[in-house]
Amino acid sequence: MNRFNLKYNVKIMEERRRKLRNNMTHAEVILWNCIRRKQIHAVRFRRQFSIREFIVDFYSPELLLIIEVDGPTHFTDEEIEYDRYRQCELESLGLSFLRIRNEDIYKNIDGVVKAISLQVESILILKKTPSLSPPVRGR
C-alpha cells in the first residue's frame, strides 16, 4: 500500500483524536510548543493524527515523519510489543519514526529539538536529491 491509499484522520476516530489533543501529556505539550507553527525548517507538524487505525503523537505529512513521545506507560512488556508492531505497520507504509522519551524532553529539550531538526534536515535533503540510479535509455 502506498501513502496515497492511506486513510488519514478517519471520521470515526475524530472524537478520540480530540480527547487526546485536549489531554496531552506534559512532555507532549512541551514538545508541541517547540515544533508547532513550522518552527523547524518551516515544516508543519500535526498532533494526535490518525493513520489507518493508529493515532500518532505528531506527524509531518510533507516528510512522512512520525514523532512518538514515550512515557512510563510505554515501558511494560505488553506496550513495548505493541509499539513494535505499530511502528512496523506504519514503517511498512513508507513512514519514518522518531521516538523520544519523556525523560529526554524534561532534561534536554534543546537536544531533542536538535535531533528533530537533524532528522527533518536529512529528509529534506533526500527529497531534493535526484535518484542516483542511471537514466533509462530508449532502444
Q: Does residue 136 fall inside a structural domain? A: no
Residue at grid coordinates 506507560: 73
Helix axes 26-35, 109-128, angle to 10 degrees: 50
Q: Does residue 65 fall inside a structural domain? A: yes
Q: Does residue 76 fall inside a structural domain? A: yes
The Cα–Cα gap between 103 and 109 comes to 9
What is the share, in percent, of the chain residues with pLDDT greater than 70?
87
- Contact (CB, 8 A) for 64 and 96: yes
Q: Does residue 132 fall inside a structural domain? A: no
CATH of the domain at 57: 3.40.960.10
- Which pLDDT score, from 0 to 100, does residue 74 have? 61
Q: Looking at the 3D structure of the chain, how many domains does it have?
A: 1
User: Which residues form the domain of 40?
Assistant: 3-126
User: Which of the residue ranges 12-16, 100-104, 127-131 would you say has the lowest mean pLDDT?
Assistant: 127-131
**Using 50, 70 and 90 to split pLDDT, how confident is the model at 45?**
very high
9 or 131, greater pLDDT: 9
**Using 50, 70 and 90 to split pLDDT, how confident is the model at 10?**
confident
Mean pLDDT of 39-61: 96
Q: Does residue 134 fall inside a structural domain? A: no
Arithmetic mean of pLDDT over the chain = 89
109-to-28, 95, 99 alpha-carbon distances in Å: 11, 24, 14
Q: Does residue 80 fall inside a structural domain? A: yes
